[in-house]
Structure 1
Amino acid sequence: MRDLLAVTGAGVVVCDVGGLGPGPPDLAAVDLLARLELAARRAGGRIRLRDPGPALRSLLRLVGLGLQVEGEIEEREPALGVEEEVEPGQPAV
């Protein structure tokens, strides 16, 4: 993954997951995608999925792995109630 991102200069690697194999996706597929995403992030990039089936999408949501899907607008994670920055040493409000 690191070499692919470095050689191409791309920031995103598209992974075609439409043909992962017969039967429903399993945790091995999720593990593989998580490892690919981690390697891509460490190299300064991301992965984007092409043609994930409904079962794979559901499984990814279930385990909390929010990967971007080709052709969809990237969803940003909502802020967790952070409203103000506090400098170190300042009392909590």
Structure 2
Amino acid sequence: MSCAATAGLPHVDADTPAVLVLPGSVTRAEVAGLCADVRTLLDGGGAAVVVCDVAGLGPPGLRTVDLLARLELAARRAGGRIRLRGPEPALCALLDLVGLRFQVEGQAEEREPARGVEEAVETGDPAA
């Protein structure tokens, strides 16, 4: 049995996120290239979300906050968004401190209840 190779990128549906692994230290000159990578993944890949693996970024600082803000801006301009994979608690606290909100992989969105949580109904409550 044989299979002919197809030209072009493999098919990726809109629900499958693209992944961008961020290197340990990102220089100011590399930020523009990473923003271009985000735009390319959103435009060419057909995904609506780019997952940024930040586990290897090292200790968080304002340079990391600037990088993530620029990546989010590039994603929004391309019609998508970024989601963080593997952030340290210190990075989450720093992002919260400066007022940036990112969706973290594995966390429920604000409007969604956490998995396994069900709404309880009191027996004395009148039906709505």
Rounded Cα–Cα distance in structure 1 between residues aligned with 2:98 and 2:110:
17
Ranges in structure 1 where 5+ consecutive residues have no aligned partner: 77-93
Structure having the higher Rg:
2
In the alignment, the residues of structure 2 paired with residue 38 and residue 17 of structure 1 have an alpha-carbon distance, to the nearest angstrom, of 17
Give me the TM-score of the superposition, normalised by structure 1. Answer: 0.76
CA distance in 1, matches of 2:47, 2:61: 29
Shift of 1:4: 1.3
Structure 1 residue ranges, 4+ long, deviating more than 2 angstroms after superposition: none
Higher relative contact order (CA 8 A, sep 6+): 1
Query: TM-score, with normalisation over the residues of structure 2?
Result: 0.56
Q: Which of 48, 59, 73 is residue 11 of structure 1 equivalent to? A: 48
**Unaligned regions of 5+ residues in structure 2, if any?**
1-37, 112-128
Provide the aligned length of Structure 1 versus Structure 2: 74
Write the letter of the residue equivalent to 2:90.
Answer: A
Structure 2 counterpart of 1:65, from 100, 106, 119: 100
Q: How does 1:1-93 map to 2 (within 5 A)?
A: 1-21=38-58, 24-75=59-110
Sequence identity percentage: 74
Q: What's the C-alpha RMSD, in Å, of the aligned pairs?
A: 1.0
